[in-house]
Amino acid sequence: MKPTIKNVAKAAGVSTATVSRALANKDNLIRPETSARVRKIAQQMGYHKNVAASRLASNITKTIAVIINYTQTDFWQTILDGILKRAHERGHKVIIFSAGEHDPQRLNETINEALEHQATGILLISGRIDHQQVNTLSNAHTPYRLISIYNLRHPEHRFISSDDVKIGIEATNYLLQKGHTKIGLVGIDHSSTGQQRLFGYQKAMTNAGLIIDPGWIHYGNYSYENGKELFQEIQGRGLTAVVAGSDMIAAGLIKEAARNDVKVPDQLSIIGIDGSIIDEIITPELTTVNQDFFKMGTASVDNLLDDDQSLFIPTKIVERASVKDLN
């Protein structure tokens, strides 16, 4: 049986209150010698406080629950880094719940688990979420923020995200400025993020007076494998440039292009949205648009704890999106 505060109290010949004080380092409420002695005994017994009981009694948690609904991409890893750092700075613990891979049912369960933990607040990192799930969150009495997903028609759901419409516009404009007119969009998904990027792409093309051939747009799941698969879709359509929905899609496209003797960027320019740690590793030809994911993490913590409004993390795409020697 695990030792409880009572066992420690008895072993030390003091009351449970004294043990509690000693372990909580309430130095002004306890004699240093007593405190030290109690702590030593507790350690010897291998005692660790029962956080459930502690929380129940004190009603304070200082814990941020993070839900990761992760996909093939690893963009959440850097976000999590940012969250961990800032949360630690602000004296909060972070507890992470994983909701499997794109499984709505499990995401639902996981949201409930997180809610049950009575955390200070919940951060949900997800590429996709449905109505019911957001409802569960908003009906509960726990502050939450959606990271990297938003719907401007529902301003009541606070979010922290990159401005995907802007990203779509800027990535497309970048290629337009290089003189391209037949530009494809490959590998976006049907979620909020994908749709906003699509919207940005359409806006930029239309602004430039260009007509988009529906065959220039191909959906996917942001993964490397999918990038490879999608390469054949853009063949034989006269495209000279492609906006890839993610850096992994771009990597897959480039890989397949090489296999098919299509020279990048001479015959086909590819610009990838979303940078990650593999930026430079993937291939020398590709440098990706790097959203400041880390900052997204820190901002999320601040936004949640300070109860601020929704926030777009500015991304300086064009400056960073240097596809080297592109045409």
Is residue 6 a contact residue for DNA (CB under 7 A)?
A: yes
Is residue 46 a contact residue for its own copies (CB under 8 A)?
A: yes
Is residue 11 a contact residue for its own copies (CB under 8 A)?
A: no
Is residue 251 a contact residue for its own copies (CB under 8 A)?
A: yes
**Window 250-289: residues binding DNA (CB under 7 A):** none
Under DSSP, is residue 20 helix (H, G, I), strand (E, B) or coil?
Answer: helix
For residue 169, give every residue at least 6 positions away whose Cβ sits within 8 Å of its Cβ, in sequence order, or none: 200, 201, 203, 204
Considering only the stretches 23-31, 90-98, 145-153, 166-174, report the one whose residues sit in contact with DNA under the rule CB under 7 A. 23-31
Is residue 14 a contact residue for DNA (CB under 7 A)?
A: yes
Is residue 179 a contact residue for DNA (CB under 7 A)?
A: no
Is residue 43 a contact residue for DNA (CB under 7 A)?
A: no
Among 30, 41, 66, 176, binds DNA (CB under 7 A): 30
Residues 50-89, mask of contacts with DNA (x by CB under 7 A): x--xx-xxxxx-----------------------------
Under DSSP, is residue 100 helix (H, G, I), strand (E, B) or coil?
Answer: coil
Quote the CA–CA distance of 310 and 327 in Å, as a whole number: 39
Is residue 88 a contact residue for its own copies (CB under 8 A)?
A: yes
Considering only the stretches 28-36, 114-122, 184-192, 198-206, report the one whose residues sit in contact with its own copies under the rule CB under 8 A. 114-122
Where in the chain does DSSP place strands (E)? 63-68, 93-98, 121-125, 144-147, 159-162, 183-188, 217-219, 241-244, 269-272, 311-313
Nearest to 72 by CA among 251, 200, 242: 251
Secondary element (H or E) of residue 84:
helix 75-89
Among 27, 116, 130, 319, binds its own copies (CB under 8 A): 116
Compare residues 23 and 250 and give the one whose CB is closer to DNA: 23
Q: What is the 3-class SS of 33-70, one letter each residue?
A: HHHHHHHHHHHHCCCCCCHHHHHHHHCCCCEEEEEECC
Q: Is the Cβ–Cβ distance between 64 and 95 less than 8 Å?
A: yes
Considering only the stretches 105-113, 205-213, 231-239, 263-271, report the one whose residues sit in contact with its own copies under the rule CB under 8 A. 105-113
Q: Is the Cβ–Cβ distance between 64 and 147 less than 8 Å?
A: no
Considering only the stretches 94-102, 150-158, 186-194, 297-305, report the one whose residues sit in contact with its own copies under the rule CB under 8 A. 94-102
Quote the CA–CA distance of 22 and 34 in Å, as a whole number: 8
CB of 165 to its own copies, least distance (A): 29
Among 208, 212, 278, 311, binds its own copies (CB under 8 A): 278
| Tokens coding 35 | 């405190």
Is residue 36 a contact residue for DNA (CB under 7 A)?
A: no
| Residue 60 contact partner, candidates its own copies, DNA, none, CB within 5 to 8 A by sort of partner | DNA
Considering only the stretches 48-56, 133-141, 216-224, 317-325, report the one whose residues sit in contact with DNA under the rule CB under 7 A. 48-56
Secondary element (H or E) of residue 300:
helix 293-305
For residue 67, what are the β-bridge partners? Answer: 97, 124
| Residue 140 contact partner, candidates DNA, its own copies, none, CB within 5 to 8 A by sort of partner | its own copies
CB of 13 to DNA, least distance (A): 7
CA angle 158, 164, 165 (to 5 degrees): 110
- Interface residue list for its own copies (CB under 8 A): 1-3, 43, 46, 48-56, 74, 77, 80, 84, 88, 93-98, 100, 106, 112-113, 115-118, 139-142, 224, 251, 255, 277-278, 280-283
